[in-house]
Amino acid sequence: MAPSPMTTGPRTRLPALHEALVPLVVLAAGMGVAFPAAARALRPGVPEMLAAQVAGVALTIPFAELSPVLRRPKTVLAALAVQWATQPLAGLALYHLAGGGRIGTGAFITSSAPAEITSALVAVVAGGTAVMAAALMTASVAAGCVLTPAWLLLLAHGHVDPGGLVPELVLSVAVPLAAGVAVRSRTPRLAAHPRPLLDLSGAGLLLVVFVGAGGARSLLLSAGIGKALLFAALLVLAGSIVAGTFAALAGGAAERRIALGCPIAMREFGIATAVALAIAPGSAGFGGVYGVVMMLGAAAAATVMRRRGVRTRIR
């Protein structure tokens, strides 16, 4: 197994920020709940936080590595088809199980969101291939401009304008991805310093968790928190099962399977929260609950997979 970007370069005594996501996600979520006013104040900056996540990963990817994936897109297209055909159906099942309401509606909206922008970072932390993960994540968010509104037409909450997602797509994904890859391609020496770049991505993630947890404070402190946590966990579990099954069937090296699995499993809770605020404001808190549960699970799983990969290389 080839070493991932964060396992190369000089040794340090303290773990990199992106290698300590589990305790930091817990801390960020707790701070968001404790300081909701600060979380609300930072909310307008969420697109820039998402952009930082994409840029941090993109700056580790030269175009020479990305172009082969773009020339042979069959695997990416298959992964997109699986994600968009299964995840919203899982959310729709939870919606009916909950009998609608803010938690059921929130679960369906979240399931209809594209791949989590942080999934590329999580894939890298877990030892996956950054190029494949970034390509799949980006394609999923682009497809979400059409497919998220299409799925949400099943709800009786009015029409969702696809154009409303375009600015966030351009600002949060297309621009930082293109700029990051271009800078990395023109500056080969960046390959020797992946740690601060991935830490930039990790910092953007923690800020989004902080804002999301602050937005979910009322739900977190309500009597419905147990149900919200259960449904968030079920949505995470459904995504993990679909992702694991597809990755196993796709085959290939472990790095490739991890890179395919993370974007399929993880939903973009920042976009889900924004969409919920537009069509069903009462359900917007679920996105924050899901985000915390999903990121804790993903960060823990990535840490375990990375350590297993390191032990395998040592042996």
Q: Residues 232-262, buried b or exposed e (16+ Cβ, 10 A)? A: bebbbebbbebbeebbeeeeeebbbbbbbbb
Return the higher-pLDDT residue of 125 and 95: 95
Amino acid 3: pLDDT: 39
Q: Are 18 and 121 in contact (CB under 8 A)?
A: yes
- The predicted model gives 153-178 an average pLDDT of 69
Amino acid 310: pLDDT: 43
Q: Is the pLDDT of residue 231 over 70?
A: yes
Q: What is the residue extent of each domain of the chain?
A: 20-308
Q: Is the pLDDT of residue 78 over 50?
A: yes
Q: Could you give the CA distance from residue 136 to residue 138 in angstroms, rounded to a whole number?
A: 5
Share of the chain above pLDDT 70, in %: 88
Amino acid 4: pLDDT: 41
Q: Could you give the CA distance from residue 160 to residue 158 in angstroms, rounded to a whole number?
A: 7
Share of the chain above pLDDT 90, in %: 27
Q: Is the pLDDT of residue 8 over 70?
A: no
Q: Could you give the CA distance from residue 55 to residue 66 in angstroms, rounded to a whole number?
A: 15
Q: Could you give the CA distance from residue 315 to residue 313 in angstroms, rounded to a whole number?
A: 5
Which of 1.10.1740.10, 1.10.287.1770, 2.60.40.420, 1.20.1530.20 would CATH assign to domain 20-308?
A: 1.20.1530.20
Q: Which two tokens stand for residue 163?
A: 């154009």
Summarize pLDDT for 127-164 with one digit per residue, the tens: 898 888 888 988 888 888 888 888 988 876 544 555 56
Q: Could you give the CA distance from residue 138 to residue 104 in angstroms, rounded to a whole number?
A: 27
Q: Indicate if the alpha-carbon torsion angle 241, 246, 251, 253 is positive or negative.
A: negative
Amino acid 267: pLDDT: 94
Backbone angles phi, psi at 267, to 5 degrees: -100, 145
Q: Are 17 and 24 in contact (CB under 8 A)?
A: yes
Q: Could you give the CA distance from residue 122 to residue 126 in angstroms, rounded to a whole number?
A: 6
Summarize pLDDT for 108-130 with one digit per residue, the tens: 999 999 998 888 888 988 889 88
Amino acid 227: pLDDT: 92
